[in-house]
């Protein structure tokens, strides 16, 4: 069974890792945890701190919006590149396959 670490310990490790003064693998070794454990703690801390999108991974709300936009583009409801003057509907009406 994995060893349980206190929240205070986790916060301290995450704070050191976020400073960026050493590679994550080194920070993990210094604190006696695995690099994957540290990565997971950083992701959790990012979500808790509202850094979901800034960490490179979209948060749940951003994913919902992206999926909604993707569905709208697929049905031709919305121009995928506003201001460019050509929509998917216009292209498909001119014999050009949608999405090109």
What digits encode the pLDDT tens for the residues 3-30?
A: 689 999 999 999 999 999 999 999 999 9
Would the pTM of this model clear 0.85, i.e. be above it?
no
CB-CB contact of 71 with 60 (8 Å): no
Domains in the chain: boundaries: 7-48, 60-93
Question: CA torsion sign, 65 to 69 to 75 to 76?
Answer: positive
What is the per-residue pLDDT across 35-68, written as a single tens digit (0 to 9) for each?
999 999 999 999 888 876 555 556 677 778 888 8
Q: Which residue has the tokens 């001119």?
A: 94
The confidence score (pLDDT) of residue 68 equals: 83
């Amino acid at each position: 069974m994995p060893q349980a670490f206190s929240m205070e310990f986790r916060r301290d490790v995450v704070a050191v890792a976020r400073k960026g003064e050493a590679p994550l693998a080194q920070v993990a070794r210094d604190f006696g945890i695995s690099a994957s454990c540290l990565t997971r703690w950083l992701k959790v801390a990012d979500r808790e701190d509202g850094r979901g999108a800034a960490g490179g991974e979209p948060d749940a709300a951003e994913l919902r919006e992206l999926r909604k936009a993707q569905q709208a583009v697929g049905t031709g409801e919305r121009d995928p590149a506003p201001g460019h003057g050509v929509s998917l509907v216009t292209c498909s009406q001119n014999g050009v396959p949608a999405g090109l």
